[in-house]
Structure 1
Amino acid sequence: MAAEADYTGGGAYPGSYYAASANPAPMRPELQGDNRAEVCIVGGGYSGLSAAIELAERGHSVTLLEGARIGWGASGRNGGQIVNGLNAGLDLIEARYGRETADFVGTVVQAGNELIRHRIRKYDISCDLKEGNIFTAFTAAHMRGLEAKQALWRRHGHDNFEILDRDALRQHVASDVYAGGMLDRSGAHLHPLNLALGEAAAFESLGGTIHEMSRVIAIEDPGGQPVVRTEKGILRPDVLILAGNAYLGHVVPELENRIMPFSTQIIATEPLGDRGRALLPTDMCVEDVRYILDYYRLSADGRLLFGGGTVYGGTDPSDIRAKLVPNLEKIFPSLKGVAVDYAWSGNCAISFSRLPQMGRLGSRTYFAQGYSGHGVVGSHLYGQIIAQAVDGDCSRFDVFEKVPWIPFPGGRRFAVPYSVLGSWWYAFRDRFGL
């Protein structure tokens, strides 16, 4: 297969607040020469790290390849919000795939949340974990949607959600733009890059091997006995796990057309001190319920981390600050003119159905991808499920593998214009409260 162009730009972390405040981490060596491995994992983000830890805990010998640095991609750039569920709601899953599948998904999705917390405790990972997640609504229609979501999750045994009217919401978010919201006390937020770095250290403490700056340029025979080639080395694994998601690129054409990259952007203000605490008194993370949403929270040092925007196809906007600052000022007018110290972008991967994809190519190559903007929890869960399948327990893997994937109409060529048209429609609905 043709070599993929270098997407890493030299492999250095982007100029994000997360990179500037990252915990110390060693530089791992590149893969060189001809090597063998029991399990090879491609991708040093949450999916790959989650699978790696689970397999190492079960006694397997695992080598992880990362094309840049650990957490370089979406896992080290995202909003850092632990949001339960998947992008596709349980009602949509039930309508498309039946009550049994929806019941199963409703049972397991919160396991990703619990898994993250378990590993933070077990491996003493320092990542600024804070409790609480709030969904905000702009209109009465949005509030009805949140009430329906609360009832739906209760049907599946989860009663963590509390509806907040306008006055109750103001106890958490000091803004006049919202009609109300919903609080999920089992949600949380954290420093995403430090979580990834801590998980990498945990994996190595279990005997695992990591090679950074080892970009995969070709994978031979992924449906049979796979061979992984990097720029300076070869790895011949018994089992291969592909966890590159939006950054896997063209090396596995069978997977490329199943997803589409899209970028999202984040800015970090100067430290706000008492101003920040007044705006978010309970220090929970927030996201609104619109299709193209805003999301924000306070960092450990009191900055407002504010994200939003979507660019389909995975390109970066020319001016991230200009794109996000007006939205920030609409929500918090008192921050007009606030200094923005950091601005960055990064790619996620979206599937047409908004459901993550998990499966196999042949009997030796596993993959997970397409978290569609809900990757912090979903990637940890899917990584663990794949690892359990490699270890011989396919009970959860088989259910997710059987969920059919839906191609983008017209293939990858038309995925971007199709998605842009869809986003215009949903933006219209959001604007007029439909």
Structure 2
Amino acid sequence: MRRRFERYCGDGSYPPSYYAASANPSPRRPALTESIAAEICVIGAGYTGLSAALHLAEAGHKVVVLEGARVGWGASGRNGGQIVNGLNASLNTIERRYGGETAAFVGRLVQEGGKIIRGFVTKYGIQCDLKDGNLYAAYTAKQMDELEAKKKLWRSHGMDDHELLDREGIRRHIGSDVYYGGMIDRTGGHMHPLNLVLGEAAALESLGGIIHEGTCVVSVDQRGAVPVVKTEQGEVRCRTLIICGNAYLGNVVPELMSRVMPVSTQMMATEPLGPERAAQLLPTGLCVEDIRYILDYFRLSADNRLIFGGGVVYGGTDPADVIAKLRPNLQKVYPQLSGVKIDYAWSGNFALSFSRVPQMGRLGPNTYFAHGYSGHGVTGSHLFGRILSEAIQGEMGRFDVFAKLPWYPFPGGRMFRDQYSALGSWYYALRDRLGI
């Protein structure tokens, strides 16, 4: 049998990230090596797949999860660790494209993903260094106007958890002089993303769920009433199939390949800075992201490292030198960290949709999918996992709203989508630099 992408994940080991180095102990799950029948099969042991699986297991369903590498190997175990509410597309954008009713619907649920995360952490005792609060940082007066408009808009949708900061106010939270102002979202937060997903996997297993790691899917037949998933060494015939491969699904399901594009983002973690030095950088422990088109994001780890990320590479390739790419941005925010030792640097892919709205739908009568969080996947994936579980149990209301939203392929198709997106990114990055 052919090997999927010559094994896209190599031997399945975690990339050399800070998260992998500080991960909680987790068992190796055996690969699937036989043909089995299952009630529900989930492809992908990341946030979406495990959220759906865990919600279904809590309702008494029997779930088998297939993971090509290890639990959380993809974006779920490599991301910035920030609980940022909302979708990549703003509520204003959603209203303009899809109407006021859809915008009101989305406005009612954009904070739900964070609540799901906190619920799992509390219910299952997941140790992932969860902290509350995130901060949006503005470089210019124009960006500050955008935050003021965002606060007003979210308040109109019933969300009143935000605090605007002037230059002096943001200086109390970030030990840097580069920002014009900002806005705190008290319902945001941050955590150790790999430990979160490992805890969710353990929770699923405690309810009788089964996870097969090292099990690459090579083909899916979703046309009949009984979906069939073929892996390198086995096969699953199931009553219901959920596809959650996101940026790492590749061409296993051709119908989904043109819907999203893999995009890599980069992160690095400094050496431990010690409590005093760390407190000078982020005195109140909030995580931070600026609001430029190509943004920086950063936070403190539990052992007082600064985790700093940013930048994109369309098509999902890794830059030759992550540290060289990110260090100038780090030193722009924190000149006092010039020359600081970087202990870890890594890259990972997220799935970008052309509309910047996540996609959810059905391919066959009993095959469901969700993907395309466009860089806002920590909360969105948990929410969409819950909505998938609702649909499978017959509650189609929320699923149908997202499933009916139109999706658009990238201009230029697969051959030119990277170049098109890079050109658009360059244009918006130039606007950021010029402050227009």
TM-score norm. by structure 1 comes to 0.99
Distance 1:54 1:286 in 2: 30
Structure 2 distance, partners of 1:187, 1:221, is: 37
Measured after TM superposition, the shift of residue 391 of structure 1 is: 1.0
Report whether the alignment pairs 1:344 with 2:334: no
8 Å Cα contact 1:3-1:251 kept in structure 2: no
1:210-359 correspondence runs (5 A) = 210-222=211-223, 224-273=225-274, 274-359=276-361
Q: Which residue of 2 aligns with 1:4?
A: 4
Seen in structure 2, the aligned counterparts of structure 1 residues 31 and 104 have a Cα distance that, compared at 3 Å, is: same
Residue by residue over 1:154-178, the C-alpha shift from the partner in whole angstroms, topping out at 9 and shown as x without a partner, is: 1101011111000000010011111
Q: Distance in 1 between matches of 2:213 and 2:165?
A: 45
For 1:134-213, what aligned pairs fall within 5 Å after superposition?
A: 134-213=135-214
**CA distance in 2: counterparts of 1:219 and 1:278, whole angstroms:** 52
Structure 1 residue matching 2:187: 3-state secondary structure: strand
Q: In the alignment, which residue of structure 2 is the partner of 1:422? A: 424
Deviation per residue, 1:249-291 (Å, 9 max, x gap) = 1010100000000000000000111111111000010000001
Partner-residue secondary structure (3-state), 1:37: strand
Q: CA deviation at 1:225?
A: 3.1
The equivalent of 1:389 in structure 2 is 391
- Helix, strand or coil at the partner of 2:108: helix
The structure-2 alpha-carbon separation of the partners of 1:212 and 1:56, relative to structure 1 and needing over 3 Å to count, comes to: same
Q: Where does residue 432 of structure 1 map in the other structure?
A: 434
Instruction: Report the 3-state secondary structure (helix = DSSP H, G, I; strand = E; otherwise coil) of the residue aligned with 1:414.
Output: helix
Stretches of structure 1 that go unaligned for 5 or more consecutive residues are none
Compared CA separation, residues 124 and 316, structure 1 to 2 (3 A): same
User: 1:69 maps to which residue?
Assistant: 70
SS at 1:310's partner residue?
strand
Q: Offset of 1:14 from its aligned partner?
A: 0.3
1:31 corresponds to which residue? 32
Q: Distance in 2 between matches of 1:372 and 1:391?
A: 27
Secondary structure in 2 matching 1:424: helix
* SS across alignment from 1:150: helix
Q: Report the CA distance between 1:33 and its aligned residue.
A: 1.1
Shift of 1:4: 2.6
Q: Does the aligned pair in 2 maintain the 1:287–1:294 contact within 8 Å? A: yes
Is 1:65–1:214's contact at 8 Å kept on the other side of the alignment?
Answer: yes
Judge conservation of contact 1:270–1:341 (CA < 8 Å) in 2: yes
2:13 partner letter: A
Q: Could you list the per-position Cα deviations for residues 66-86 of structure 1 after superposition, in whole angstroms to 9, with x for gaps in the alignment? A: 000000000000000000000
Name 1:104's counterpart in structure 2: 105
Q: Give SS of 1:419's match.
A: helix
Specify whether residues 140 and 208 from structure 1 end up closer, same or farther in structure 2 by C-alpha distance, changes over 3 A only.
same
Distance in 2 of aligned mates of 1:425 and 1:327: 19
2:99 is the alignment partner of 1:114: no
Identical columns (%): 64
Task: Look up the SS of the partner of 1:87 in the other structure.
Answer: coil
1:407 corresponds to which residue? 409
Q: Per the alignment, in what secondary structure is the counterpart of residue 108 of structure 1?
A: coil
Amino acid of the structure 2 residue aligned with 1:312:
Y
Letter in 1 for 2:154: W
- Give the letter aligned to residue 299 of structure 1: S
> Is 2:79 the counterpart of 1:78?
yes
| Aligned residues of 1:69 and 1:212 also touching (Cα < 8 A) | yes
- Is 1:364 aligned to residue 356 of structure 2? no
How far apart in 1 are the matches of 2:328 and 2:258? 35
Tell me by how many angstroms 1:109 deviates. Answer: 1.4
Cα offsets for 1:323-361 (capped at 9, x unmatched): 001110110000000000000001110000000000000
Structure 2 distance, partners of 1:57, 1:223, is 27
**Amino acid in structure 2 at the alignment position of 1:50:** S
Cα shift at 1:220:
2.0
Is the CA contact (8 Å cut-off) linking 2:223 and 2:365 kept in structure 1?
no
C-alpha contact (below 8 Å) 1:261/1:348 kept by paired residues: yes
Residue 128 (structure 1) shift: 0.2
* Alpha-carbon offset, residue 223 of structure 1: 6.2
Q: CA deviation at 1:224?
A: 5.0
Equivalent in the alignment of 1:133: 134
Q: 1:404 & 1:224 partners in 2: Cα distance?
A: 25
- Equivalent position amino acid for 2:28 in 1: M
Unaligned 5+ segments in structure 2 are none
CA contact (8 A) 1:2 1:218 kept: no
The letter of the residue matching 2:52 is A
For the 8 Å contact 1:3–1:218, the answer to whether it is kept is no
Q: Calculate the aligned-residue CA RMSD, in Å.
A: 1.0
